[in-house]
Amino acid sequence: MTTPSRHLTTEEACDLLRVDASTLRRYAREGKFSRIRLSPRKVLYIRDEIEAYIDARTIHAQPLAGKRRAGR
């Protein structure tokens, strides 16, 4: 079993966030998460920070208590 990399490429981060590269860059500029600039064209993002950003904005549905499906 392989472990996921600590870092994401721009394409991987965009896929995870479901945003365009320009939106990803704007989020990083705004300080929503860090980026590591390896060169002018190569940037990496920290997986844990991206996942924390997603988790902080995810609404988890709560089951309806006492409700039963019809016909059962």
The neighbouring-strand residues paired with 8 are: 45
Is residue 26 assigned to a domain?
Answer: yes
> What range defines the domain where residue 44 resides?
7-56
Is residue 46 assigned to a domain?
Answer: yes
Tokens of 1: 């079993």
In this prediction the pTM is: 0.73
Interval 18-55: pLDDT, tens: 999 999 999 999 999 999 999 999 999 999 999 999 99
Residue with token string 């994401």: 8
Tokens of 42: 């190569």
> Could you give the number of structural domains in the chain?
1
